[in-house]
Amino acid sequence: MLFLDTANIKQIKHAEQTGIIQGVTTNPTILLKENIQHETIIKDILQATSGIVFVQTIGETTTEIIEDATVILETFQDKRVALKIPAHLDGIQAIKELKTTYPDVAVLGTAIYATEQNLLAALAGADYVAPYINRMQNNRIDAYNVIAETRKIYDDQKLQTKILAASFKNTGQIIETLSKGAHTVTIPYELLVAMANKELALGAIKQFNKDANTLLREGDQHE
C-alpha cells in the first residue's frame, strides 16, 4: 500500500488517477499550508479520493484527544475517515478507549520516534503506527533499526498493527524503510513524482518516441 501525505487537492486528484494510492494522511501543519478551512478541505479530500483519509486529533490529554476525535467522527460521518493520535502516554490511553468505543474506525499512532512507542500503540489497538523517518535521522536516531525492531516484535507477538512510516525527504529513505520491514509509507506528492520520473527513464522514453515518429515518417514516404 502507498499513502499520500498532503492536503493539496490538485496533487491528490493527480495521484488518485494512478490507481495506486490507498489513502491520504493529513495533519494540522499540512492543512495550514493550503490556507483553507479545516472542515472544508477534509470534505474536499474525501470527495477527491476513494481510500482512507487520516485526520489528526488535537489535544494533549486523553480527554482532549477523545473529545476532538468524537467531533471529527461526528462532523464527517464517513467510514473512510480515520484518526491520527499521538503515541505519548495520554495518546496511548486515548487509542485504547477510542478503539473500544469505535472498533471499526481505523487509528494511526503518530509522532513516533522509538520502537517502544510502536509497541505501546499496538498493544492499545492501533491499526497503524507512523514512525518519523527523516525526523529520527535528523536527531541521530537509527530510524531503520526502529523499523526492523518494530516489525520483528509485531511478527513475533502476532500483533496486527501495520507500520505506516512517514517523514521522508528523498526516495532512498522510502526504499530503505520498506526493505527494513515497514508495511507501507505515506509520502509527499513530490516524492511520488520523483519515484517514477527518473531522468534516465524520461530520456529513454523521449528517444523511443522520437524514433517511433521517425519510423512513421519513413513509412509514409514509402507508400
- Delimit the domains of the chain by residue range: 2-197
What per-residue confidence (pLDDT) applies to 174?
Answer: 98
pTM value is 0.92
Asked whether the beta carbons of 113 and 136 are under 8 A apart, the reply is yes
pLDDT band at residue 221 under the 50/70/90 scheme:
low
Per-residue pLDDT at 34 exceeds 60: yes
Per-residue pLDDT at 70 exceeds 70: yes
**Roughly how many angstroms between the first and final C-alpha of the chain, as a whole number?**
50
Per-residue pLDDT at 223 exceeds 60: no
What per-residue confidence (pLDDT) applies to 15?
Answer: 96
Instruction: Give how far the C-alpha of residue 167 lies from the chain's centroid of Cα atoms, to the nearest Å.
Output: 9
What per-residue confidence (pLDDT) applies to 140?
Answer: 98
What per-residue confidence (pLDDT) applies to 218?
Answer: 72
Asked whether the beta carbons of 7 and 38 are under 8 A apart, the reply is no
What span, in angstroms and rounded, lies between the C-alpha atoms of 100 and 220? 70
What span, in angstroms and rounded, lies between the C-alpha atoms of 111 and 141? 14
Tens digits of residue pLDDT in 183-219: 999 999 999 999 999 888 888 988 889 878 888 887 6
- What average pLDDT is seen over the chain? 95
What per-residue confidence (pLDDT) applies to 219?
Answer: 66
Catalytic residue annotation: 84
What span, in angstroms and rounded, lies between the C-alpha atoms of 57 and 67? 9
In 10 A of CB 216, how many CB atoms?
10
What per-residue confidence (pLDDT) applies to 38?
Answer: 85
CATH entry 3.40.1160.10 includes domain 2-197: no
